[in-house]
Amino acid sequence: SPKINKQLLHDAVVMYQANLRQGTFRTKSRGEVSGTTKKMYRQKGTGNARAGSKRSGVRRGGGHIFAKRPRDFSWRMPRKALQSATRMALAARLADEEVTLVEGLEFDSPKTSSMVATLNSLGMAG
């Protein structure tokens, strides 16, 4: 059986989970939020801090400063590394007796009850 490389297994699992991500999130930036572009009040003389837009990111109802955009999170491992990780995972399961190999399964008719009976006889129910 192959020697277990934890880092390689970890990378394979992380890649698998990253490839499941949809990445369809999106938020509006200040340029995309609907609303007026008029200056809120004059530049000087009010005592307030200068302000240009009601839709700036620091204001309620404003856009996001760095708006989220849809993106692809998927990445690929080298093919042989992925094959090696799969072999390691199977070997670890075999070593822990979590996998049972069954040869020549044949049924008279395609019924769930016959499959359940076979699994029960092999001690693999559940």
Q: Which of 57, 5, 4, 3 is nearest to 30 (CA)?
A: 57
> For residue range 61-102, what is the model confidence (pLDDT) as tens digits?
999 999 999 999 999 999 999 999 999 999 999 998 888 888
114 touches 35 (CB < 8 A): no
Q: Which residues of 76-100 are buried (b: 16+ CB within 10 A; e: fewer)?
A: ebeeeebebbeebbeeeeeeeeeee
Whole-number Å distance between alpha carbons of 69 and 63: 13
68 touches 25 (CB < 8 A): yes
With pLDDT > 90 as the criterion, what percentage of the chain qualifies?
A: 76
The pair of three-digit structure tokens given for residue 116, joined into one six-digit string: 């359940």
Q: Which of 92, 97, 88, 96 is nearest to 11 (CA)?
A: 88
pLDDT at 46 over 70: yes
Where along the chain do its domains lie?
A: 6-97
Whole-number Å distance between alpha carbons of 44 and 51: 10
* Residue 126 binned pLDDT confidence (cut-offs 50, 70, 90): low
CATH 3.30.1360.200: does it fit domain 6-97? no
pLDDT of residue 113: 93
